[in-house]
Amino acid sequence: MSLLTVENLTVGYGDTVILSEVNFTIRLGERFVVLGTSGCGKSTLLKAIVGLNPPSSGKIFFAGDEVVHPLPEDTAFYRRIGILYQNSALLNSMTLEENVMLPIKMHFPRFSDADARDVAGEKLSMVNLYEHRTKIPQELSGGMRKRGALARALVLDPEIIFFDEPQAGLDPVTTRELDLLFIRLNEQMGITFFTVTHELLSIRRSAQKVLMLADGGVAFLGTLDEAMRTDDFRVRRFFDVGTERAG
């Protein structure tokens, strides 16, 4: 069953077109990875789908319904998706726990504080941060902040999480832990992942479907196995440079 379908999407900034005629479908429960070199439009695509920078043409369908941006912030679409932007920061004016409670306050204002705190605590436990819940984000490491932002994205039990460069700035051990956490959330809770990344190891570890952007459009769409085998030079260059050895 398809969860998200993008048809003939064209998106840019002002008069500048960044991506045109993008087409793909993400199946329910799939780990979908968007890759490509810096500046190719990965974040632009993510922001177009979630409505931060609406597309200039094309259609988006979520769970069978067309999504027409701009949508009001309290709309059902935003309750059903979790988003972590590339520079998404937790707010330093509040504790980790209060950050995670924010989406509940926003979408379910009648929820009691105690209940919201319980739900936030449950999500913080899932990402191993429960004992740090009363700290402010400044007091946490980069990897902990990423996990905290993940807990916030998870708090409304989304059907899909949009994640922009989750591994950026993390060491290989922390990156691996985060990748394994995504796989666990995907396998145990059925959450669909739309992950933007250029971390080759993470792609190898966790991607099921791969969309590669280049030259203003889709350069490749297929399974990870197909991506590893294709002769397309843009895909080859991406994967082969990544496996080069130093020295």
Ligand X SMILES: Nc1ncnc2c1ncn2[C@@H]1O[C@H](COP(=O)(O)OP(=O)(O)OP(=O)(O)O)[C@@H](O)[C@H]1O
Nearer to ligand X, 36 or 158 (CB): 36
Cβ proximity of 36 and 212 under 8 Å: yes
Q: Does 53 bind Mg ion (CB under 5 A)?
A: no
Contact region with Mg ion (CB under 5 A), list: 17-25, 42-50, 171-179, 215-223: 42-50
Tell me how far, at minimum, the Cβ of 134 lies from Mg ion, in Å.
32
Any residues with CB less than 8 A from the CB of 182 and at least 6 apart, and which?
31, 163, 166, 193, 195, 206
Tell me how far, at minimum, the Cβ of 196 lies from Mg ion, in Å.
6
Nearer to ligand X, 12 or 121 (CB): 12
55, interface contact from Mg ion, ligand X, none, CB < 5-8 Å by kind: none
Q: Classify burial at 14, counting beta carbons within 10 Å of its beta carbon; exposed 0-12, middle 13-18, buried 19 or more.
A: exposed
Nearer to ligand X, 13 or 233 (CB): 13
Instruction: Give the footprint of ligand X on residues 57-96 (CB under 6 A).
Output: 86
Q: Does 202 bind ligand X (CB under 6 A)?
A: no
Collapse the DSSP code of 109 into the 3-class scheme (helix H, G, I; strand E, B; otherwise coil) and give the result.
Answer: coil
Beta-bridge mates of residue 57: 10
Task: Tell me the two tokens of residue 236.
Answer: 């080859």
Q: What is the DSSP letter of 245?
A: P
The site string for Mg ion over 78-117 (x = CB under 5 A, - otherwise) reads --------x-------------------------------
Instruction: Give the footprint of ligand X on residues 8-67 (CB under 6 A).
Output: 13, 18, 36, 38-44
Binder among 30, 33, 43, 101 for Mg ion (CB under 5 A): 43
Tell me how far, at minimum, the Cβ of 8 lies from Mg ion, in Å.
22
Nearer to ligand X, 36 or 148 (CB): 36
Axis crossing angle, helix 142-154 with helix 113-126, rounded to the nearest 10 = 130
Side chain identity at residue 243, one-letter code: T
- Name the region of 237 (left: φ>0; alpha: ψ -120 to 50; beta: rest): alpha
Tell me how far apart the alpha carbons of residues 129 and 120 are, in angstroms, rounded to a whole number.
11
Nearer to ligand X, 19 or 96 (CB): 19
Nearer to ligand X, 43 or 186 (CB): 43
Tell me how far apart the alpha carbons of residues 154 and 146 are, in angstroms, rounded to a whole number.
12
Tell me how far apart the alpha carbons of residues 110 and 104 are, in angstroms, rounded to a whole number.
9
Beta-bridge mates of residue 221: 211
Binding site for Mg ion (CB under 5 A): 43, 86
Binding site for ligand X (CB under 6 A): 13, 18, 36, 38-44, 86
